[in-house]
Amino acid sequence: MKEVVILGLNNHIYSKDELIDIFENTIGKTLGEVDKNHIFDRTIDKPKITGIAGNVIEESVLGYEADSYQRPDLVVDGIDVELKTTGIRRSKKDKKLFEAKEPMSVTAVSPEKISDEEFSTSNFWHKLEHLLVIYYLYDSDMTVLAAEYAKFPIKGYDFYEFSSLNKKILENDWSLVRDYIKSLQEEYDDPTRYYPTLSSELRPELMMIDIAPKWPNRPRFRLKRATVTTLVQQHFGKQFESLDTDYNTFKEIDEKLHNLTIQLKNQTIAELMSHFDIPLNNKGKISKGVTEQIVTKMFGAKVNKMNKIDVFNEIGLRAKTTTWTVKGGRTEDTKLFPVDFEEWTTSDKLFEESTVYNYFSENQYLFIIFQESEDSLDGIDNNKFIGFKRLSFDDKFIGNEVRVVWDDVREKVHKNKLVETTVVNKAGEPIINKNGVVQTTVNLPKSKDHTIFFRGTSSNSSYKPESVNGISMYRQSIWLKGSKLNNMLADIEFI
């Protein structure tokens, strides 16, 4: 490495081959093993210091002191490159897959500057145009102190550049933020009073970025966790399908969905399966996930899940099916995501920094809506497609419905109020399952009391792999009550 000083700033000069040699020698080693400059000594006095992994990479692996300048960290073969050290973890749904531990911070949102910037010369794009991403495995089911990061292994590195499509998406996202700030500055004498609306107003339209934290704290641009997860999974070998048509904004996706509705509305599931040449399963029945497969076929994809399509996975657009009765009612609750008890059991974890908050603030749901046949004896193959609605959770819902569950569970965990009780029948006798196991219940949030609630699932009633405060339980997932969802969708126009 060469180090020169230009205009008072350190520029860390490397060749790409030099960096490859450096990081090839770190793969498989822990952060502690590569810490030749003893950066972890700082954790003795500051056990909760943040950014320790990045500091180790910068100061011990590359040998320069970290700084907070807005310019990229490195110059590689004459090109500015931003260095990012990011944690990955094993997916709860598939242990063979990695996912991003958290969103990736990019740079500050500076209202004083951004209104006069253009995307191509902005600090935002300067930071993202050329990346060197170092991946370490956050190999713990619990939140750990900074010193424990020394045990985490480095899993890989990636010289990454966004595709032309993703660059266009990022440009549109950034422009939404710039134009919104500009409109506030033009409309109000004191626009700072309205800056707190930045995140909530733009959330439904931002595809790959979000803004955090909220004002009055100075916010930063971040790549969504879903976006970083796609980057991670592509690096480690997962294949995603690309659509033949590019979609740069939610508006373009909505236009496609609107045209599909005009074309296909009132067709039954059976008719749609025939239209898109979707076969029955090997038992001669309609597969459980056929409606999501219908949506992917509508977009011309071969895969049967939206999260296997690169752009939908990157922007956190999740597909869900809801079936309305003839009277407009809804038949069942909706499963959202598996519970990661690490955050719920960590005493100093802030709600706004949790993946629970992150999930509701950055993901959106595309609901494909069907209506049941008037004949109650008809099967789901006669349910009629009536359209799409796109749901984004607003600040009020997150603050009222999600936060109350977060606080409730954490209070029970940290004040030893989590209780397991035996389920009894009307006679007060314990209910025993067919395999001889006594039914029990844990006082986690239930649907009778909460819009957002916990529900456990298991292959059999004796398998309880989750353990919290010494209580064994089924794998838990977060669910959304069907009646509440029905009311929320009723307030949203069809696309």
Query: How do beta strands 154-160 and 452-457 pair?
Result: unpaired
Backbone dihedral region of 118: left (phi > 0), alpha (psi from -120 to 50 degrees) or beta? beta
CA angle 345, 221, 60 (to 5 degrees): 70
Closest listed residue to residue 451, CA positions, set 422, 493, 487, 480: 480
Sole residue written with tokens 């109020």: 417
CATH class of 2-235: alpha beta
pLDDT at 141: 78
User: What is the amino acid identity at position 118?
Assistant: E
Identify the sign of the CA torsion 76, 80, 84, 90: negative
Alpha carbons within 13 A on the beta-carbon side of 346 = 18
Closest listed residue to residue 19, CA positions, set 132, 136, 160, 154: 132
Identify the sign of the CA torsion 469, 472, 476, 481: negative
Alpha-carbon distances, residue 78 vs 12, 128, 136, 384 (angstroms): 11, 16, 27, 59
Contact 156, 236 (CB under 8 A): yes
pTM over cut 0.85:
yes
Closest listed residue to residue 257, CA positions, set 387, 165, 369, 393: 387
Phi, psi of 90 (to 5 degrees): -75, 140
Alpha-carbon distances, residue 401 vs 393, 455, 489 (angstroms): 10, 16, 16
What tokens were used for 335?
């499963």
Topology, domain 250-395+485-490 = ECO RV Endonuclease; Chain A (3.40.600)
d(CA 409, CA 282): 42
Contact 434, 427 (CB under 8 A): no
Most distant CA atoms of the chain, gap in Å: 82
Contacts 24+ apart (CB under 8 A), 406-411: 406/344, 406/351, 406/354, 406/356, 406/357, 407/351, 408/445, 408/450, 409/344, 409/444, 409/445, 409/454, 410/344, 410/345
Distance of CA 208 to the CA centre of its chain: 10
Closest listed residue to residue 209, CA positions, set 197, 219, 217: 219
| C-beta neighbour count of 426 within 10 angstroms | 5
| C-beta neighbour count of 429 within 10 angstroms | 9
Closest listed residue to residue 55, CA positions, set 32, 77, 78: 32
Contact 135, 38 (CB under 8 A): no
pLDDT at 89: 94
Contact 16, 9 (CB under 8 A): no
Alpha-carbon distances, residue 404 vs 199, 219, 347, 452 (angstroms): 21, 25, 16, 9
Contact 249, 172 (CB under 8 A): yes
What tokens were used for 268?
């039954």
Q: Would 2-235 and 250-395+485-490 be classified into the same CATH topology?
A: yes
* Helix (H) or strand (E) segment spanning residue 177: helix 164-187
Contact 52, 194 (CB under 8 A): no
* Domain boundaries of the chain, sorted by first residue: 2-235, 250-395+485-490, 402-480
Each residue's pLDDT expressed in tens, for the chain with a length of 495 residues = 544 444 434 568 999 999 999 999 999 999 999 999 999 999 999 998 889 999 999 999 999 887 666 678 899 999 999 999 999 999 888 888 999 999 999 999 999 899 999 999 999 999 999 999 999 999 987 778 999 999 999 999 999 999 999 999 999 999 999 999 999 999 999 999 999 899 889 999 999 999 988 777 888 999 999 999 999 999 999 999 999 999 999 999 999 999 999 999 999 999 999 999 998 887 778 887 899 999 999 999 999 999 999 999 999 999 988 888 776 666 678 899 888 888 888 777 888 888 899 899 999 999 999 988 876 556 778 889 999 999 999 999 999 999 999 999 999 999 999 999 998 888 888 888 877 788 889 999 999 999 999 999 887 778 888 889 999 999 999 999 988 988 899 899 999
